Amino acid sequence: MLPRPSAADDSHQKLLDQLDMARIPRPFRNPHWKPSARRNKNVKQILSETSRKEASVLASQNNSGASTPFAAPSSTTAAAATPATENGTGDGTPVTPATAIGAGVNVGAASRPPNIAQAAQSLSTLVLEKNFRTLAQMGGVMANGMGPAVTYTNIESAPSLHPSSQKRYCDITGLPAPYTDPKTRLRYHDKEVFAVVRSLGQGVAESYLEVRGAHVVLK
């Protein structure tokens, strides 16, 4: 049978209950607050979202709902634009169907106000086509002939893997490091830094590798 607590223990427990801050109401906290969704995204999700966004931008340049194209001129407009003569334009010149339609188009275009949205869309389309032709001549367009050019600012472009473009720096001093310690895999500048590398304690080399992003732990 467990011994009964003494009066001193009871008073101590009452004091702990009295000083316990977990039971104090917190009206400053919002009862409807919920933690936000996960914001971390892996590389595959970032690449898919970027390609989807670029594809939507390219598709919307030629099929935009912001502007409506002009309607084709009807036959009544063409007839009204020509003089009321049966076989001529009034000065003896014979009328052809192409001349009548062209005159109707010119008169209709002159009477309509300019469509700024359609002009901007046409200008953007011309700029995109010009850029694509330039990139096609330079060999920068992708294999299917569509899509943005791969540049160093694009997330889909990979860094150069050529050894001449990779610069190695010392993990201790930050100076150019032509040497690598085979035991700790740390890069060092000269023999003085090498002596410091060999005098490091256990776990210090791993922390340097972790800072550089080269510490791989297999689980």
Phi first, then psi: what are they for 136, rounded to 5°?
A: -65, -40
Give the Cα separation of 111 and 125 in Å (integer). 26
Find which of 88-92, 130-134, 185-189 is predicted with most confidence, using mean pLDDT.
185-189
Coil, helix or strand for 180? Answer: strand
**CB 196: neighbour CB atoms within 10 A?**
13
Q: Domain-by-domain residue ranges, the chain?
A: 182-218
Q: What is the mean pLDDT of the chain?
A: 70
Least confident of 70-84, 102-116, 189-203: 70-84
The model's confidence at residue 180, banded by pLDDT at 50, 70 and 90, is very high
Find which of 13-22, 86-95, 138-147 is predicted with most confidence, using mean pLDDT.
13-22
**CB 4: neighbour CB atoms within 10 A?**
7
Q: Indicate whether 193 pLDDT > 90.
A: yes
Residue ranges of the alpha helices (H) in the chain? Answer: 7-19, 43-62, 75-81, 97-111, 116-138, 191-198, 204-212
Phi first, then psi: what are they for 176, rounded to 5°?
A: -55, 130
Q: What is the pTM of this model?
A: 0.29
Q: Indicate whether 93 pLDDT > 70.
A: no
Dump pLDDT digits (tens) for 54-86. 877 665 545 544 445 555 455 544 444 444 444
Coil, helix or strand for 176? Answer: strand
Cα 205 to Cα 169, 173, 184, 218, distances in angstroms: 15, 14, 6, 17
Report the share of the chain in percent with pLDDT over 70. 53
Give the per-residue pLDDT at 147: 57
The model's confidence at residue 154, banded by pLDDT at 50, 70 and 90, is low
Give the per-residue pLDDT at 13: 84
Find which of 21-30, 76-85, 149-158, 202-211 is predicted with most confidence, using mean pLDDT.
202-211
Asked if residue 186 lies in contact with residue 204, where contact means CB atoms within 8 angstroms, the answer is no
Give the per-residue pLDDT at 100: 47
Contacts of 40 (CB under 8 A, 6+ apart): none
Higher pLDDT, 28 or 85: 28
Report the share of the chain in percent with pLDDT over 90. 12
